[in-house]
């Protein structure tokens, strides 16, 4: 075991495919990293479930392993996959059914019905997931059940059932809060028959809420924050106009807007969404989010389904074998398009293929297609917010690929700063807990921790006009799905 460092923070980072435990030091380094895989299951097309008990067990296991390696900590921070939903029995603490992942689409029909009645819920929000789980386990609403997102579930287990809380950033993506994100919306709760008593208390993202009695020393739980918001903070984007893109399985651009709520109440005219970035000492910092539905999953497609590459990192080596894609354009719409053109019926499209097109051109076209989608997110965010984004910070698995990062710089015509911590969510949750405990004294301290691993400048221009033409051709392939709007 290493010597404990005063002010260190234990972070439990619950992702879609696993749980990570780590300790964030006051110098913003991440140590004592432990990971345990907890994969979701898909029992039928469109269904994404997870074992909530296994997730809780894994969270406790990695937390204890990190503490054993690093020594005592000042506090615990929790960051999580947003909108995934768990319902459990308050007395026993046992889940009443599977957890429903944020990607789960079983409630699409319910969302369309509510849309017809003037209420807009998206299938990736928690609202209809919670209602579905309650309908299955307690149709008469007579049981004493708890509803929560993943942060709520992990805090409950860390505190031995003593805490039933969520933070403003996670509550904001449930689809169940009032416009300013401060409380649950009784009109929506009544419509979905979700008892207010079943829902957690909404707390600050940064602030002490209770003790992690399941861990040695019972350190205080001092942060709860959604994964994308944590990544935003982890990359030092804590001032208005500072933005990051996380290129993971999907891709999300988040920009810090500041204390004033964005103009759009739901979706902006260019397909972005207002979010609560975080809440600290009762003050909300707002953000705006733009989404691509498929980023790294396109590289997985090349590897697992086409067999064009053997490993994800190999995509860099193969693409680097040619200077350009030689006119080949790939639209990464395997799951449809997101911001700015929400078209669930769009499909992946490969254009410009000739007899001379080879493996390098194909792989480069895929990487450049994801980069072009990144440029789409930048343009949409600037249009919806009125902010200028002169530089970008990037994290996520694809940020390890030099050819891809160069393509992002070329597509956006902006310098791209690469995060030294690929999972900046962990760092951000550590920052939020450390802010509450005094490890860092304020936002300027957090901003000053940013030290990019590399800064990549644009070298050439990717053809944006040809790109937009390709997107037009990919759009509307499945007309019924393209007609869905949330």
Best-predicted range by mean pLDDT (1-10, 204-213, 253-262): 204-213
**Nearest CA to 88 among 135, 154, 145, 128?**
145
pLDDT at 16 (0 to 100): 86
* Band of residue 12 on the pLDDT scale cut at 50, 70, 90: very high
In CATH, what class is 9-227? alpha beta
How far apart, in whole angstroms, are the C-alpha atoms of residue 175 and residue 407? 35
Q: Write the CB contacts of 160 (distance below 8 Å, at least 6 apart in sequence).
A: 213, 214
Higher pLDDT, 114 or 481: 114
pLDDT higher than threshold 70 for residue 3: no
pLDDT higher than threshold 60 for residue 2: no
Q: What does pTM read for this prediction?
A: 0.93
Instruction: Indicate the range of 78-82, 185-189, 480-484 predicted with least confidence.
Output: 480-484
pLDDT at 196 (0 to 100): 98
Average pLDDT, the chain: 95
Fold match between 9-227 and 236-418+453-486? yes
* Domain boundary assignment for the chain: 9-227, 236-418+453-486
Q: Can you read off the two tokens belonging to residue 435?
A: 């802010």
Q: Can you read off the two tokens belonging to residue 42?
A: 């898909």
* Band of residue 486 on the pLDDT scale cut at 50, 70, 90: confident
| DSSP letter string, 169-183 | HHHTTTT-B-TTSSS
Cβ count within 10 A of residue 197: 11
Share of the chain above pLDDT 90, in %: 89
Phi, psi (degrees; rounded to nearest 5) at 296 = -65, -20
How far apart, in whole angstroms, are the C-alpha atoms of residue 351 and residue 201? 51
pLDDT tens digits for 50-104? 999 999 999 999 999 999 999 999 999 999 999 999 999 999 999 999 999 988 9
CATH topology of domain 236-418+453-486: Nucleotidyltransferase; domain 5 (3.30.420)
Contact 321, 461 (CB under 8 A): no
Q: Which residue has the tokens 């002169």?
A: 390
Q: Which residue has the tokens 């790109």?
A: 467
* Cβ-based burial of 364 (10 A; exposed 0-12, middle 13-18, buried ≥19): buried
Q: How many residues does the chain have?
A: 486
Q: Which residue has the tokens 């004493």?
A: 144
pLDDT at 378 (0 to 100): 98
């Amino acid at each position: 075991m290493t010597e404990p460092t005063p002010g260190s923070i234990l972070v439990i980072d619950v992702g879609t495919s696993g749980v990570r435990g780590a300790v964030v030091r006051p110098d913003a380094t991440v140590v004592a990293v432990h990971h345990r895989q907890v994969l979701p299951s898909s029992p039928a097309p469109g269904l994404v479930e997870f074992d909530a008990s296994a997730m809780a067990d894994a969270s406790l296991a990695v937390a204890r392993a990190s503490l054993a390696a690093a020594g005592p900590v000042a506090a615990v921070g929790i960051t999580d996959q947003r909108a995934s939903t768990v319902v459990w029995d308050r007395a026993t603490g046992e889940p009443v059914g599977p957890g429903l992942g944020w990607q789960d689409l079983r409630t699409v029909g319910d969302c369309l019905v509510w849309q017809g009645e003037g209420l807009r819920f998206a299938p990736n929000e928690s609202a209809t997931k919670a209602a579905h789980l309650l309908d299955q386990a307690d149709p008469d609403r007579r049981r004493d059940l708890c509803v929560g997102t993943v942060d709520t579930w992990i805090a409950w287990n860390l505190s031995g059932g003593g805490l039933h809380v969520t933070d403003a950033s996670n509550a904001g993506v449930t689809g169940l809060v009032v416009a300013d994100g401060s409380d649950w919306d009784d009109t929506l709760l009544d419509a979905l028959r979700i008892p207010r008593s079943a829902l957690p208390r909404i707390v600050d993202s940064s602030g002490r809420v209770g003790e992690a009695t399941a861990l040695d020393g019972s350190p205080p739980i001092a942060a709860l924050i959604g994964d994308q918001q944590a990544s935003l903070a982890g990359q030092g984007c804590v001032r208005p106009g500072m933005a990051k893109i996380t290129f993971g399985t999907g891709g999300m651009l988040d920009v810090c807007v500041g204390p004033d709520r964005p103009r759009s109440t739901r979706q902006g005219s260019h397909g972005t969404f207002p979010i609560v970035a975080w809440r600290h000492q009762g003050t909300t910092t707002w953000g705006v989010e733009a989404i691509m539905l498929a980023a790294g999953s396109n590289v997985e497609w090349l590897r697992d389904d086409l067999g064009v590459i053997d490993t994800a990192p190999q995509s860099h080596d193969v693409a680097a074998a040619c200077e350009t894609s030689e006119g080949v354009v790939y639209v990464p719409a395997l799951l449809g398009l997101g911001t700015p053109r929400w078209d669930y019926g769009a499909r992946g499209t490969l254009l410009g293929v000739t007899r001379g097109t080879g493996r390098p051109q194909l792989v480069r076209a895929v990487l450049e297609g994801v980069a072009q989608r990144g440029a789409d997110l930048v343009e949409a965010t600037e249009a919806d917010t009125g902010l200028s984004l002169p530089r970008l910070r990037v994290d996520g698995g694809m940020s390890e690929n030099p050819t891809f990062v160069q393509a992002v710089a070329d597509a956006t015509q902006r310098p791209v700063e690469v995060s030294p911590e690929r999972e900046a969510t962990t760092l951000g949750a550590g920052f939020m807990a450390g802010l509450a405990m005094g490890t860092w004294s304020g936002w300027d301290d957090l901003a000053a921790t940013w030290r990019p691993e590399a800064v990549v400048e644009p070298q050439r221009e990717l053809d944006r006009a040809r790109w937009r033409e390709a997107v037009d051709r990919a759009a509307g392939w499945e007309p019924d799905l393209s007609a869905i709007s949330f």
